[in-house]
Amino acid sequence: MDRYSEKFFRYLEIEKNYSKYTIDNYKLDLKGFMEFLGETPLEKVDYLVLRKYLAKLKERNLISKSINRHLSSLRSFFKFLVKESYLKANPASGLSSPKQEKHLPIFLTEEEVNKLINAVEPKDEAEFRDKAIMETFYSTGIRVSELVGLNIDDVDFIGGIVKVLGKGRKERLVPIGEQALSSLRNYLDKRKKYRDDDALFLNKNGKGIGGRGVRNIIYKYIKIASVKLGVSCHTLRHSFATHLLDRGADLRSVQELLGHANLSTTQIYTHLTTEKLKRVYDKAHPRA
């Protein structure tokens, strides 16, 4: 099993060009499946075995989105094994995906975003970095994995553009606002000189900051600002998309900015805020 999985991960990295973050998720999913199988060889895995595994995942009260991700990992793994002639048939091909619950993404109002960003009052290098991280998140709408992958050279301070390496190692250019650029300049002016200083955002040891470090920073200021529950790094991305659409941006443009491969993924942001619904209602309804 380990021999097959290692070849599979090399295939994802070299041929499919998947990011480290995606491959790490596949590794976690397959590790859980291997623990479930125990001593059962791959050749004995059939549709019924996989159904039992999915039932186990449901017993853990995982949401449909998480179960679908596990299922996607298994489909890709078994498809690879058949492609490489390690197996004759793909036992995962007949599995149907659980229906996903539809939830509106949590987002902040413009006032709440300002409150969160203004919770950072920079006095030292770390706080100037935190402010720049917040501003960059909201100004560009990029993912955590994309933010930690930024180098200084990826930011065009004159043109107001950031080069981002997204999912599937696809590059895209994203505009960045003057307030975010100003925060970045202030941070870089305060930043000490390090031997390894290509990364845009550094941790306390002078190395490129990781995803966990960024999340801890965001959670720290969420508590200080006392904004709504359920807020995370991704909430700033949701807020970025929502505010653009509320102010008249078209869906295709927002899709490009977010780096979504499919327009259907971007459509979750087409919900309207209560405030906008009220404005439309007051303007249009004869008895408003």
Active site residues: 143, 167, 234, 237, 260, 269
CA-nearest of 192, 194, 142 to 165 is: 142
Give me the helices (H) in 84-210, please: 110-118, 125-140, 144-148, 178-190
Give the number of C-alpha atoms closer than 13 A to the C-alpha of residue 156, restricted to the C-beta side: 10
55 DSSP 8-state letter: H
Terminal Cα distance for the chain, rounded: 66
Report yes or no: 31 and 108 within 8 Å, Cβ to Cβ: no
Residue 139 CA to residue 250 CA, distance in Å, equals: 17
Beta-bridge partners for 155: 162
**Axis crossing angle, helix 47-59 with helix 20-37, rounded to the nearest 10:** 100
235 CB-near residues (< 8 Å, 6+ apart): 105, 106, 107, 108
Residue 267 CA to residue 231 CA, distance in Å, equals: 20
